[in-house]
Amino acid sequence: MSEQRLQKLMARAGVASRRRSEELIAAGRVTVNGEVVTSLGTKADPDRDAVAVDGRALELGVAHAYFALNKPRGCVTTMSDPQGRPTIARFLPPLPPGLFAVGRLDMDTEGLLLITNDGELAARLLHPRYHVPKTYRAVVAGRPSDAELARLRRGIELDDGPTQPAEVEALGPRDDRTEARITIREGRKRQVRRMFSAIGHPVTELERTAFGPIELGDQPRGALRELTEHEVTALKEVARS
């Protein structure tokens, strides 16, 4: 790779936004091959030069990529499926190799799926220790009572143990069903579906609308978009140790 400005390399390595990286350089916290640099015009070659911030070496060689897919229902969250079912791969244009989805959505769940080749960040985002919130819009059978929703808020016993407290709100009726918003900070298998089934109101539609600071917004179903630098920084921020 050719030489590039330090702040660009730092932003790409996930240190901080370019602007914040410039501040770190100006503050004398960045070294190139062991020498402190404070000039914002400084360039480095990610393949040859060693860049460190506060003494911590940056991984510069790998260009990480971050995308949001609005997954349609009816496809599995893998790049290829031995059983031949439709996969999310059909919605992805040719992309750099090594990309994978951060966690899974069920075949029948739609909505926000993060796609990246940044294994370290993905592992952190999925690790229970960071309690990254995931928000879903669920359409459920019948009319859950306040008392039933309160059970979900407190935490409910599932066959793999109790759930942590959740935020749940009924948004309104949908024929004989009810639309609800639920935010959980865990990621167990079919968790939202199992939670609503446990209070007697099975889910009939499920869409993930947010993952940590990233929102689905009005992104069309099946569309892929690259996350902005600001969004990537925010994502790293929620999973910082």
Among 25, 69, 105, 168, binds ligand URA (CB under 6 A): 105
Secondary structure (3-state) at 126:
helix
- CB closer to ligand URA out of 58 and 206: 206
Question: Binding string, 178-197, against ligand URA, x = CB under 6 A?
Answer: ------------xxxx----
- Other beta carbons within 10 Å of 185: 15
- CB closer to ligand URA out of 20 and 185: 185
- CB closer to ligand URA out of 164 and 228: 164
Q: Where are the beta strands (DSSP E) in the chain?
A: 4-5, 30-32, 35-36, 43-44, 51-53, 56-57, 66-71, 100-101, 110-116, 134-141, 157-158, 161-162, 167-174, 177-184, 203-211, 214-215, 224-226
Catalytic residue among 45, 49, 81, 106: 106
Q: Quick check: is 106 catalytic?
A: yes
Segment lying near ligand URA (by CB under 6 A), choices 81-89, 105-113, 114-122, 215-223: 105-113
- Does residue 70 interact with ligand URA by CB under 6 A? no
Can you tell me the distance from the alpha carbon of 149 to that of 66, in angstroms, rounded to the nearest whole number?
35
* Helix spans in the chain (H): 6-12, 18-26, 119-126, 146-154, 191-198, 229-238
- CB closer to ligand URA out of 13 and 166: 166
- Residue in the block written with tokens 């503050």: 27
Report the site for ligand URA in 206-225 (rule: CB under 6 A).
Answer: 206
Contact residues toward ligand URA (CB under 6 A) are 105-106, 109, 190-193, 206
The catalytic site residues sit at: 106
